[in-house]
Amino acid sequence: MARKRIYLSSPTTHGEEQAFVKEAFDTNWVAPLGPHVNALEKEIAEYTGCGHAAALSAGTAAIHLALKLLDVKRDDVVFVSDLTFSATCNPIVYENGTPVFIDAEPDTWNMSPAALTRAYEKYPNPKAVIVVHLYGTPAKLDEIMAICEAHGTPLVEDAAESLSSTYKGRHTGTFGRYGIYSFNGNKIITTSGGGMLVSADEEATKRATFLATQARDPARHYQHSQIGYNYRMSNITAAIGRGQLLHLEEHKAAKKAIYEQYRSAFADISQITMNPMNPEGDANNWLSCMTIAGDCNVTPDMVMDALEQEINAESRPIWKPMHLQPVFEKYDFIPHNADGSSVDEEIFDRGLCLPSDIKNTPEDMELIIRTVRACFGR
């Protein structure tokens, strides 16, 4: 009999999701918009303290609309975290802007304030800065915000991976001009697929909602004075999200317990280092990651292969830095290190994401840990 699959991070549902969806069907609110969309926006705004929220079809759509609200146009430079998923950067290119990739710093694996400062020396007038809270760990927001404010540059927070994470007691996604969350299937809570744009600016959020609804003018007939997008979240999708949101803190606690179990289990293996935490933040530990010392004869591929082949467990490489992606090879990259070497490349070369599914049983975790330890002869 085949061994069960141990997932990296799959959806975990509880029952309330079905109740909200049933309510939508019972009231015939299966059309794209409806009361669950409005309710989810209100509930996310209340939970995060962001002020206002627009429920959208994806986190990518939220980033795109944030750039539209900031009037990013052809050849405008946008500074963006290099160690991320391509969805962070693609919307810059949608608007024919020019991404400039900013290296990570080793303390949190997030945007390096030193590299960001260096980027301003080369490109003094960027239209925006997009910072990512990688794997749920808050970036060094005080330093990054101070740099942005000194240059009058609006900050966008890609908090796709960090919903429920806080920095100095305040939710990630609420520090920048705009913040974005993702509810993709592998995130800490899911709507199956969806995202949210958040802001303290009510008028800007209303404009995002307008653009996301095909920019339909308030006329009796269908009239459009500008280009819009089909980016609104559906009522059924929002119903799932409302049920998930009830369990967000529970999911966060389970994710943190997974990280702590790995950290404790590998503490005696000097070649393993877990992904770092920001001491001024409270991470949601969306994914638990590890890096392997450069002088070790064990590679991330060896560990991932062992997990896959021996116990049918899903793991992943660290995000491949954007400046190494073929589609972005023509754009500039600003390193953290003064010698020009890249922190991002070192993390990518030496790291992997461990199975971080909150449905992992104690037996699953024991298997994963035993398999990883065996790779190091333990």
Query: H or E segment at 238?
Result: helix 235-245
With 0-12 / 13-18 / 19 or more C-beta atoms within 10 angstroms meaning exposed / middle / buried, residue 333 is buried
What are the tokens at 136? 């749920």
What is the per-residue DSSP string for 198-220? Answer: EES-HHHHHHHHHHHBTTB-SSS
Contact between residue 51 and residue 202 where contact means Cβ atoms under 8 Å apart: yes
Residues in CB range of 238: below 8 A, 6 or more apart:
34, 36, 37, 39, 40, 55, 191, 194
Nearest Cα residue to 157 out of 47, 59, 41: 59
Rounded to an integer, what distance in angstroms lies between the CA atom of residue 345 and that of residue 372?
23
Known catalytic membership, residue 359: no
Phi, psi values for residue 258, rounded to 5°: -65, -50
Rounded to an integer, what distance in angstroms lies between the CA atom of residue 180 and that of residue 196?
6
Query: H or E segment at 146?
Result: helix 141-151
Residues facing residue 130 across a β-bridge: 80, 156
Contact between residue 65 and residue 264 where contact means Cβ atoms under 8 Å apart: no
Contact between residue 347 and residue 104 where contact means Cβ atoms under 8 Å apart: yes
Q: Which amino acid is at 185?
A: G
Q: How far is C-alpha 6 from the chain's CA centre?
A: 22
Nearest Cα residue to 135 out of 158, 112, 102: 158
What are the tokens at 286? 């969306």
Contact between residue 195 and residue 64 where contact means Cβ atoms under 8 Å apart: no
In 59-127, which ranges are continuous DSSP H helix?
59-69, 90-94, 113-122
Contact between residue 70 and residue 128 where contact means Cβ atoms under 8 Å apart: yes
Q: How far is C-alpha 126 from the chain's CA centre?
A: 22
Catalytic residue among 127, 140, 187, 252: 187
Q: Catalytic residue numbers?
A: 187
